[in-house]
């Protein structure tokens, strides 16, 4: 028996292949959008993919369960409460999947979502591992506020937090201490707020170190779990519903994206946003009108899906073909490939943004309207400018009218990546009324906390 962990570092997502070495059969758990890595692994192991298990309808990435079913004939297993429209086998508590000397058992563990399950792996008669989806993470547990407006079953965050309290204590903590814990996410995900950098653990270790497994009342647990959760990107509800339906095949969806050959600026639809993924230095020197600068960094998908609403068409541009292909694929990982009106390589356009004079700002901060686009919890824990207007990046487009235009505007975040995007959004909206600057990495000179 072998357990292979796959990581999508951009979405901090873990998926798994469980191999029966005696029967050469594989069961996948929570696969990502592009199934090729699982096909390659099966070929390498001379094995057949027989099943896919979904621990819940994911909010932060699109799964390839339906494509794997259609391509490989693998059965899909999910909880009956999922309300899936794809063909699946109900995998409710008490149900088992057996292959070789491996038995996979479903534990109903609601809390992150009303339809969440964990999967206990028993090998040769002993529980060896549990795949906890978004219920139990390393150092944390799943957030309970993503299913208040999405999915087949919707509950309040407090109701789900109470379910989480029970699932952790009455289901997962009853497993043996040496049972390995394999979660669906690691540090960096927005499905929790305090995850460890580790990619696995044991039940015993988590009982000692994980705050959510400590002795506390249900009331205290609900209070702590629901406090200061990260923001919810716009795309999360869309992905829940897309995963309940089953996404179209990855490669055919990628191939359907229109790649344009050096289109003239006046041939582009003027009412559509351009996502310019070039480095911020290039963007500020020259860019096309109506462009937002979401750089091709590790959080590209997160901010694309936070700034652009599901269903909103946009153009995607980069400075080279390899990066363009990569970002089309990464857009598909959150189900946004069908919203790309056209993708092309560009060296920019006639628009530019002035570079901030940091010393002038330092000496005269009251002569600027300061916009802090960090999340509310970041501002609360580490305030930087007392006079700043706090509008989180994901809300910026909808709250532009809260920014006064009687002074130059300076935008900042915690390190410079988000402020590149935020300042470009503000500049596009009010740059004709006042100067807009990006404080960028210079924020580190002011952040003394």
In angstroms, the first-to-last Cα distance of the chain is 49
Question: Looking at residue 379, which CATH number applies to its domain?
Answer: 3.40.250.10
Give, to the nearest 10 degrees, the angle between helix 235-245 and helix 300-307.
100
Q: Are residues 175 and 81 in the same domain?
A: yes
Tell whether 352 is covered by a domain: no
Q: Is residue 161 part of a domain?
A: yes
Cβ contacts of 364 within 8 Å, gap of 6 or more: none
Is 180 in the same domain as 46? yes
Whether residues 178 and 205 fall in one domain: yes
Q: Is the same domain home to 303 and 214?
A: no
Tokens of 424: 């470009």
- The reported pTM is 0.93
Do 295 and 385 lie in a common domain?
no
* Tokens matching residue 205: 């270790």
Count of the separate structural domains present in the chain: 3
Task: Report which of 125, 4, 6, 112 is spatially closest to residue 59, judged by C-alpha positions.
Answer: 112
- The Cα–Cα gap between 37 and 103 comes to 24
What is the rounded radius of gyration, in angstroms, for the C-alpha atoms of the chain? 23
153 and 252 inside one domain = no
**Does residue 353 fall inside a structural domain?**
no
- The reply to whether 207 and 259 lie within a common domain is no
The verdict on 399 and 253 lying in the same domain is no
Question: In which domain, by residue range, is 428 found?
Answer: 358-445
384, two tokens: 């930087």
Residue at 243 is within a domain: no
Query: pLDDT tens track of the chain, all 449 residues?
Result: 999 999 999 999 999 999 999 999 999 999 999 999 999 999 999 999 999 999 999 999 999 999 999 999 999 999 999 989 999 999 999 999 999 999 999 999 999 999 999 999 999 999 999 999 999 999 999 999 888 666 566 678 899 999 999 999 999 999 999 999 999 998 766 655 556 677 899 999 999 999 999 999 999 999 999 987 778 899 999 999 999 999 999 999 999 999 998 787 778 999 999 999 999 999 999 999 999 999 999 999 999 999 999 999 999 999 999 999 999 999 999 999 999 999 999 988 999 999 999 999 999 999 999 999 999 888 988 999 999 999 999 999 999 999 999 999 999 999 999 999 999 999 999 999 999 999 999 999 987 64
Q: Is 230 contained in some domain?
A: yes
Q: Are 447 and 414 in contact (CB under 8 A)?
A: yes
Mark which of 310, 345, 380 sits at the end of a domain: 345
Q: Are residues 9 and 152 in the same domain?
A: yes
Looking at the structure, tell me whether residues 222 and 118 fall in a common domain: yes
Same domain assignment for residues 128 and 15: yes
Closest CA to 144 of 109, 170, 92: 109
Structural domain includes residue 164: yes
Helix H or strand E encompassing 103: strand 102-108
Q: Is residue 27 a part of any domain in this protein?
A: yes
């Amino acid at each position: 028996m072998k357990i292979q962990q796959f990581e999508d570092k951009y979405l901090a997502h873990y998926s798994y292949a469980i191999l029966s070495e005696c029967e050469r059969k594989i069961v996948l758990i929570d696969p990502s959008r592009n199934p090729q890595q699982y096909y390659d692994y099966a070929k390498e192991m001379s094995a057949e993919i027989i099943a896919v298990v979904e621990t819940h309808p994911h909010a932060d990435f699109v799964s390839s369960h339906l494509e794997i079913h259609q391509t490989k004939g693998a059965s899909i297993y999910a909880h009956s409460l999922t309300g899936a429209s794809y063909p699946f086998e109900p995998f409710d508590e008490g149900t088992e999947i057996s292959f070789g000397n491996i038995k996979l058992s479903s534990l109903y563990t609601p809390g992150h979502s009303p339809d969440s399950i964990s999967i206990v792996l028993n090998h040769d008669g002993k529980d060896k591992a549990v795949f906890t989806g978004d219920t139990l993470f390393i150092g944390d547990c799943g957030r309970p506020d993503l299913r208040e407006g999405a999915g087949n079953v919707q509950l309040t965050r407090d109701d789900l937090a109470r379910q989480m309290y029970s699932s952790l204590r009455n289901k997962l903590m009853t497993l043996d201490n040496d049972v390995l814990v394999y979660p669906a996410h690691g540090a960096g995900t927005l499905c929790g707020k305090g995850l460890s950098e580790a990619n696995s653990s044991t039940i015993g270790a988590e009982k000692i170190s994980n705050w959510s497994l400590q002795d506390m009342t249900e009331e205290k647990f609900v209070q702590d779990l629901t406090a200061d959760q990260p923001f919810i990107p716009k795309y999360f509800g869309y992905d829940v519903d897309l995963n309940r339906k089953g996404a179209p095949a990855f490669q055919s969806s990628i191939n359907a994206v229109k790649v344009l050959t050096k289109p003239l600026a006046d041939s582009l639809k003027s009412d559509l946003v351009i996502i310019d993924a070039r480095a911020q230095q290039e963007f500020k020197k020259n860019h096309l009108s109506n462009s937002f600068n979401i750089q091709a960094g590790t959080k590209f998908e997160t901010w694309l899906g936070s700034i652009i609403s599901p269903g909103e068409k946009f153009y995607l541009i980069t400075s080279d073909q390899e990066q363009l292909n990569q970002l089309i694929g990464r857009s598909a990982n959150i189900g946004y490939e069908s919203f790309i009106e056209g993708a092309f390589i560009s060296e920019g356009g006639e628009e530019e943004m002035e570079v901030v004079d940091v010393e002038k700002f330092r000496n005269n901060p009251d002569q600027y309207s300061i916009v802090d686009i960090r999340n509310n919890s970041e501002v609360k824990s580490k305030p930087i400018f007392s006079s700043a207007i706090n509008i989180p990046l994901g809300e910026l487009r909808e709250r532009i009218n809260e920014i006064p235009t009687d002074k130059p505007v300076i935008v900042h975040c915690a390190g410079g990546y988000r402020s590149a995007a935020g300042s470009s959004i503000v500049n596009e909206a009010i740059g004709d009324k006042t100067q807009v600057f990006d404080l960028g990495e210079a924020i580190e000179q002011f952040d003394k906390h």
